Amino acid sequence: MNAVPLPPGRRAVLRATGLLAAVPLLPALPESPASAAPRPDGDVRAVQDALALLTRDAMSGLAVFVAPGPDPFSRQQGTPRREPGAIEARVPDFLIDALDRYLPFPDLLAVPLTRALAHDTGRLGLPAAPGRPAPAERRVDQGLRRLLDGEATIPLAGVVALLLNLQAVRVDPASLFGPFAAPFARLTYARKARVFELLEGPDPALVEMLDGRLPEPLRGTVSGLLRFLGGTLLELSALGAYSEWAVFDPATKRLKGRPVGWQVSGYSPSVDGWDEYRGYYQGRKKVTG
């Protein structure tokens, strides 16, 4: 396949968002030169698979930012702990489920924001991509364009992951390299905090870039959306870490095990309950002035 290599700016964008994780997932091309044509559907699926992979890693990096534990993501950020944390509480799954299904974020924002993150971030001064471009990089770029131009739904968790990764590379260009698929998951604790400072504070370059892709009447709302999103991500992570979500069985309405939040806090429902709080307090049934 004699594809024209990607310009350096496009390569920098794909690296910063983490989407070059799709390169090893691309389907092999036929050996015969006569049939060595791209496989558009396979390239799109590779991009979707890469987005799912880097989303889980980014959500894991976010989860341990709030509730670290003995896991590799906590060790990477420099705050490992002996007691179980967000990974053991399945907070990455909780975040993906909450963002994709429950967060009141307008659906019509996901695709334009993803287009901005995938196509417009070259103006943000990202570190240049070294070395010679590989033909597979263009296939990733083309797969991404087909995905965004088609009718596929872009999950909100994926949009958030791309945004966190982009900001991670802006904060620390060294996050382009290391373990995990997501640059955000490679950051230290202090640099993750800096990412959230950028999300919740003034970042004119990012706001202008994202705002340019939004449809009317949503233009001019990006700053507020980013502040809302930054706070919500931290709140959801804490909620997932200390709730019973990971061990709650919807079929039986019972817990399948002891929640991590109970273990960390030492809570025991059989010990910490108070009889006075069952029913009416001290037998009172009404209040008089």
Highest mean pLDDT among 107-121, 182-196, 271-285: 182-196
Residue 210 lies in a domain: yes
Confidence of residue 2 (pLDDT cuts 50, 70, 90): very low
Asked whether 150 and 107 are in contact (CB, 8 A), the reply is no
Query: Could you give the percent of the chain with pLDDT greater than 70?
Result: 76
**Strand pairing partners for 248?**
255
For residue 1, being part of any structural domain is answered with no
Helix axes 222-242, 91-101, angle to 10 degrees: 140
**What is the pLDDT confidence band of residue 19, given thresholds at 50, 70 and 90?**
confident
The whole-number pLDDT of residue 37 equals: 56
pLDDT above 60 (res 4): no
Handedness of CA 267, 268, 271, 274 (dihedral sign): positive
CA-closest candidate to residue 134, choices 285, 214, 24: 24
Does residue 199 form part of some domain? yes
pLDDT at 89: 97
Structural domain contains residue 288 = no
Find the range with the poorest average confidence among 17-26, 45-54, 150-159, 161-170. 150-159
More confident call, 155 vs 82: 82
More confident residue, 60 or 106: 60
Q: Please choose, from the candidates 172, 160, 192, the residue with its C-alpha nearest in 3D space to the C-alpha of residue 55.
A: 160
206-260: pLDDT as tens digits: 777 777 677 666 666 677 777 888 889 999 999 999 999 999 999 999 999 999 9
* 241 and 248 Cβ atoms separated by less than 8 Å: no
pLDDT (tens digit, 9 = 90+) per residue, 40-82?
678 888 888 899 999 999 999 999 999 999 999 999 999 999 9
Range of the domain at 218: 8-29+37-283
Report pLDDT for 1.
Answer: 40
Whole-number pLDDT of residue 252: 92
pLDDT of residue 126: 74
Please state the pTM of the whole predicted model. 0.82
From 153-157, 182-186, 252-256, the region with the lowest mean pLDDT:
153-157
Count of the separate structural domains present in the chain: 1
Mean pLDDT of 256-266: 92
- d(Cα 18, Cα 16) in Å, to the nearest integer? 5
- Minimal CA–CA distance to 92: which of 139, 57, 46? 57
**71-75, 83-87, 96-100, 127-131, range with the lowest pLDDT:** 127-131
Half-sphere exposure (Cβ direction) of 101: Cα atoms closer than 13 Å: 6
Please check whether residue 86 lies inside any domain of the structure. yes
Classify residue 3: in a domain, yes or no. Answer: no
Give me the pLDDT at residue 32, please.
43
CA distances in angstroms from 223 to 196, 216, 217, 234, 250, listed in the order given: 13, 15, 15, 17, 37
Mean pLDDT value across the chain:
82
Tell me: pLDDT of 5 over 70.
no
